Structure 1
């Protein structure tokens, strides 16, 4: 495999690579790590496997950042694509129509992913991961389209986070009061029980419900600000990496301070403290990948990740429609059988290999599923 088929050098390869790393966890890397810890139960592997489990409610594990990181990266892409269209003279009304269309399609695909149109005996769930991405992206893209002054958009982001905190901490919820950040007492959960149709993913709450999607838009908005910063002529420099790292560290410290003050990070509620931590960590990861891949130009190692990142929606939907574990068992089951206790681990690795080969085939054919 070579990089001959890669896009033009001006494409930000680190963006595809980091998105690919994020999607790799969804594709099955987390299962491989858990099974590896089960097969070889060392203290390090057990701690690592613990990081690939969601926290029960309040707190933060690495696994809780996979979805926010994708939202952040979708925001980074907004100015890189939208501003060039504005520069070409595209109509703002046409772009606004495309924003709404993309949002609607993602909501619809999320419903399809949840099986809303299937004959499952359980009630339909309308809220979804893709739906939340669509809503948050539409908010951030609309802001990018309407508010061209970067400082104003920074102020709006700060206000968005502050408003989230005010609503969650100071607005009383009927029957519970203010600042009750529980599965039944938070303003997110109360609103969804009252207004969100269909089944709620958490029973009494939905982590991708209406308020959550709106609150989480802060992460995509932050990504769009980073994308705007990356459009500077001198962006491909170590100075940019340092600025991104400092900004990310500041957001992490601010999120940690909110946590220490009694406002914990809760992914299911998308609290402002969680959003700050997610924004900070995502920015730090982006700075790391950007520095290594686009500034130092150490790129060959990231090819496998870029293949995934350039077709992230394909594998997200494909893993739901195609049983890759069954394919792995069918193709490799007899081969890995003699491995004994290691056989389940090898079959999970086979799942990743098969998924990547499908994406590589799509990559070679230039088939990219985008909405």
Structure 2
């Protein structure tokens, strides 16, 4: 067994973070181009999995955001452990109030920065007007969910944290099913008729992503806290000192993943798996797959020590916020890729030129990340 930890974090966390971010930054475009150039079943299927579902249902692409939030939750106990060591305590509940206030301020600062960065990604600096600006964002939801999960971690023991997790999922389910929406009634889980969409229309300022609701809206951020808590439970389990062997830990993680997936599938009959609503069944189902993804990277990298293959993923994962913001329109990687490789790509078959073009974009992105990695320049929030 190896103990690969970089900057106080499990190497597998950065690798998993890089894996999910790869598909956002350019990986999806490579697969879509491959499916057109060589429409064999595996490429066509992969391409179909790299689109969000229209409403109910699940694809791999729907899992990317919650897996990223789950990873943030896993890293939380390791992050707070440093602060507890400085304070000379073994539990966050033992932290003196003065230290907790410092942590709260640090957490609030991080959340505010993520909210602001989310505004920037949404184009707030274009100054198109308040009503045309979208204020909900992926980064904002990560910041808010992480913040409230952190408050629960700092103020409640593990048993009560689990109660919070269960209470959030059941409470959200009951609210969505029982609270009536004017003009629609109770339990209408459509874009227009859901309680989540109604609350967004009432209270979320600016432009909604989908006119009648926002997939990163106000009310659906509450179950996202449960996604962060689920990662936090796994981080606590890995960090805790117990008598379980590595093989036992792996088996327990796989078993918990299967239980969550089955629970999500059963709950789907009453509360459909839906990323847009971040439904309770969605939290369970994707939470199970998040554990499976992590288990693979943890076993391969941190336990067995096979980490060289994951170096490109580590480049992405160690600067995930930067490459996310850059890929969302702040940097035109395609322009640079065309300038460097465009002449060579013209010599290839017309059908395959889009494939080589998207791959050249990935190469430019990785080159930038490698440059930053070698100089230890990381965007950390």
TM-score normalized by the length of structure 2:
0.92
- The runs of 4+ residues in structure 1 deviating greater than 6 Å are none
2:365 maps to 1:355: yes
Instruction: Give the corresponding residue for 1:291.
Output: 299
Greater shift, 7-16 or 179-188, is seen at: 7-16
Q: What does 1:181-260 align with in structure 2 at a 5 Å threshold?
A: 181-233=189-241, 237-259=246-268
One of 37, 40, 46 as aligned partner of 1:39: 37
Would you say the 8 A contact 1:236–1:295 is kept in 2? no
Instruction: Give the corresponding residue for 1:28.
Output: 26
Instruction: Give the corresponding residue for 2:68.
Output: 70
Alpha-carbon offset, residue 10 of structure 1: 6.8
Helix, strand or coil: the match of 1:313? helix
Alpha-carbon offset, residue 213 of structure 1: 1.4
Instruction: Give the corresponding residue for 1:367.
Output: 377
Would you say the 8 A contact 2:69–2:228 is kept in 1? yes
Would you say the 8 A contact 1:20–1:305 is kept in 2? yes
Equivalent-residue separation in structure 2 for 1:168 and 1:229 (angstroms): 32
Equivalent-residue separation in structure 1 for 2:379 and 2:5 (angstroms): 16
Gaps in structure 1 of 5+ consecutive residues: 1-5
Equivalent-residue separation in structure 1 for 2:27 and 2:152 (angstroms): 35
The CA RMSD over aligned residues, in Å, is: 1.6
Equivalent-residue separation in structure 1 for 2:226 and 2:316 (angstroms): 26
Equivalent-residue separation in structure 2 for 1:45 and 1:174 (angstroms): 45
Equivalent-residue separation in structure 1 for 2:235 and 2:117 (angstroms): 26
Deviations 1:227-284 (A, max 9, x none): 111102467712111111111110000000011x232111111110111111111011
Deviations 1:136-184 (A, max 9, x none): 010111111111x112111110111111111111111111111111111
Greater shift, 116-125 or 63-72, is seen at: 116-125
Equivalent-residue separation in structure 2 for 1:44 and 1:24 (angstroms): 19
Instruction: Give the corresponding residue for 2:121.
Output: 113
Alpha-carbon offset, residue 364 of structure 1: 0.5
Deviations 1:98-147 (A, max 9, x none): 11111111111100110112144770011111100100010111111111
2:180 maps to 1:172: yes
One of 297, 301, 307 as aligned partner of 2:309: 301
Would you say the 8 A contact 1:165–1:272 is kept in 2? yes
Would you say the 8 A contact 1:73–1:223 is kept in 2? yes
Greater shift, 207-216 or 69-78, is seen at: 207-216
Equivalent-residue separation in structure 1 for 2:248 and 2:314 (angstroms): 25
Equivalent-residue separation in structure 1 for 2:347 and 2:245 (angstroms): 50
Alpha-carbon offset, residue 324 of structure 1: 0.5
Equivalent-residue separation in structure 2 for 1:338 and 1:73 (angstroms): 42
Counterparts in 2 of 1:8 and 1:181: CA distance versus 1, 3 Å? closer
The count of residues paired between Structure 1 and Structure 2 equals 364
Would you say the 8 A contact 1:14–1:289 is kept in 2? yes
Equivalent-residue separation in structure 1 for 2:6 and 2:17 (angstroms): 18
Helix, strand or coil: the match of 2:306? coil
Instruction: Give the corresponding residue for 1:134.
Output: 143
Equivalent-residue separation in structure 1 for 2:334 and 2:41 (angstroms): 28
Q: What does 1:323-334 align with in structure 2 at a 5 Å threshold?
A: 323-334=332-343
Deviations 1:322-344 (A, max 9, x none): 10011111111110111122111
Alpha-carbon offset, residue 36 of structure 1: 0.2
One of 277, 293, 296 as aligned partner of 1:269: 277
Would you say the 8 A contact 2:273–2:280 is kept in 1? yes
Would you say the 8 A contact 1:157–1:221 is kept in 2? yes
Instruction: Give the corresponding residue for 1:3.
Output: none
Equivalent-residue separation in structure 1 for 2:199 and 2:22 (angstroms): 33
Gaps in structure 2 of 5+ consecutive residues: 88-94
Helix, strand or coil: the match of 2:239? coil
Alpha-carbon offset, residue 9 of structure 1: 9.4
Deviations 1:272-298 (A, max 9, x none): 011111111101111111111111121
One of 86, 98, 103 as aligned partner of 1:95: 103
Counterparts in 2 of 1:303 and 1:329: CA distance versus 1, 3 Å? same
Helix, strand or coil: the match of 1:267? coil
